[in-house]
């Protein structure tokens, strides 16, 4: 069942700040950078926050979350930062599926293409 969350509520805004700190730590840990389009970053952080509040985990917002045997899971159990992003997507494509996490090389190429 789809639940609504007030994205201007104190609870959401507090969790959003935690998500921002979380994604900052992911960058630091893996040597990645944020996507140069701030709308991509904001959108994914909002989705991660929503999933954390709804399901208790920062499931990747680009994949459906389902309930199975009383527990929530997503496709490929994609909990941020997900295994496919760490092992395949970022190393091979320069960015994760959602686009929030990128290699510095990807961002450089992206910025050059935007000129």
Q: Tell me the mean pLDDT in the region 88-95.
A: 97
DSSP state of 101: E
* Beta strand pairing call for 33-34 and 101-102: antiparallel
Rounded Cα–Cα distance for residues 104 and 111 (Å): 11
Count helices and strands (H / E) in the chain.
Answer: 5, 4
Longest dimension (CA), the chain: 50
CB 10 within 8 Å of CB 49: no
DSSP state of 87: I
pLDDT of the residue at 1: 46
Give the predicted TM-score (pTM) of the model.
0.91
Q: Please tell me the class of the 11-114 domain.
A: alpha beta
Average pLDDT, rounded, for the chain? 93
pLDDT of the residue at 2: 52
Q: What are phi and psi of 30, to 5 degrees?
A: -100, -5
| pLDDT higher than 70, residue 87 | yes
């Amino acid at each position: 069942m789809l639940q609504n969350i007030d994205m201007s509520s104190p609870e959401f805004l507090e969790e959003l700040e935690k998500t921002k700190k979380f994604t900052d730590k992911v960058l630091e840990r893996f040597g990645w950078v944020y996507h140069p389009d701030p709308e991509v970053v904001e959108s994914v952080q909002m989705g991660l926050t929503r999933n954390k509040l709804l399901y208790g985990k920062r499931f990747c917002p680009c994949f459906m979350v389902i309930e199975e045997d009383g527990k929530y899971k997503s496709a490929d159990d994609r909990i941020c930062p997900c295994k496919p992003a760490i092992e395949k997507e970022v190393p091979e494509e320069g960015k994760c599926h959602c686009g929030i996490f990128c290699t510095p090389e990807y961002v450089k190429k992206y910025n050059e293409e935007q000129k």
